[in-house]
Amino acid sequence: MFFQDSIVNVFLEPLSQLAALFMILLGVIWIIYGLHEGLRRKSFRKLTKVEDWDFDITKFLKILTLLGFVVGIFSIITGVGALILNLPPSIAYATTTANERNLFTCILLIVLGFFTFMKPLNDLPIASMVGLAAATLVTVVIAMLIPDIAVELIENFIDPKIVLIVLFLIIFAIVAVTVKFYTAGLMFLSKIISWPPIAFVVAIFCFIQGFALVIFGVSLI
């Protein structure tokens, strides 16, 4: 109980009171998304088709991806925390409107935070990454837990290193294909929401809602 209370008091509660700030941060991230996608697609208006891996993973894209993950995750946590703890999104809102949560802001943070977190899926080989991690973990666990007797038995027929390599490749292939299949819908949605006009509209909406909460203490809804 003490550990749980510490998490709430030290981390979740202060973070949940920054809902308006994270609305503005989401606007900044989506402006960056729109600019980057417009330049990458060589069009800010047309829904230009972009192949998954026909571009280089530049340093800028790595930083962008990291920011998207971080802001997206923290926006979700902030929205959920404010919803559960019934905390106002800003000091101005607590003073002007009500010293309680704003349901509209909480929902926005959770939904847009999810999309912000999901957007980099279109820029990273997520299936390969998950497959690599899973195959590495399983191979290491098997190598640590396999009995010495079994190792000696295998050595009579084939080098155990070859067995582990083959096992790694099989698990990697199975997991990568499975993840690719189940994330296909998310990848398609990621491409749609990365269209610059949508990104700019989302950014402007986040700015309006965020500054309305911070300056005027009111919500659009």
- Residue labelled with tokens 């929902």: 107
Residue 140 belongs to a domain: no
Residues 35-70: pLDDT tens digits?
A: 877 776 665 655 555 444 444 445 666 677 678 888
Inter-residue contact 22 to 212 (CB < 8 Å): no
Least confident of 5-9, 121-125, 197-201: 5-9
pLDDT of 147-195, one tens digit each?
A: 666 666 666 666 666 666 666 677 666 666 666 666 666 666 666 776 7
Contact 64, 32 (CB under 8 A): yes
Angstrom distance (rounded) from CA 13 to CA 22: 14
Is 159 within the bounds of a domain? no
| Residue 143 within any structural domain of the chain | no
> Band of the pLDDT at 14, cuts 50, 70, 90?
confident
pLDDT single digits (tens) 124-136 = 565 555 555 666 6
Give pLDDT, residue 143: 59
Position 91 in a domain = yes
List the domain range (segments joined by +) for residue 207.
2-123+188-216
Residue 211 has a pLDDT of: 96
pLDDT number for residue 212:
95
* Number of domains composing the chain: 1
In the three-class reduction of DSSP (H, G, I as helix; E, B as strand; rest coil), residue 157 is classed as coil
Is there a domain that residue 182 lies in?
no
Question: Which residue matches tokens 């894209």?
Answer: 61
DSSP 90: S
Q: Which pLDDT belongs to residue 146?
A: 63
The reply to whether 156 falls in a domain is no
Is 114 inside a domain boundary? Answer: yes
Percent of the chain having pLDDT more than 70? 51
Cβ(22)–Cβ(78) below 8 Å: yes
pLDDT of residue 199: 87
The pTM of this model reads 0.69
pLDDT band at 1 (very low <50, low <70, confident <90, very high): very low
The pLDDT of residue 53: 40
Pairwise CA distance, residues 87 & 102, whole Å: 8
In a domain, 196, yes or no: yes
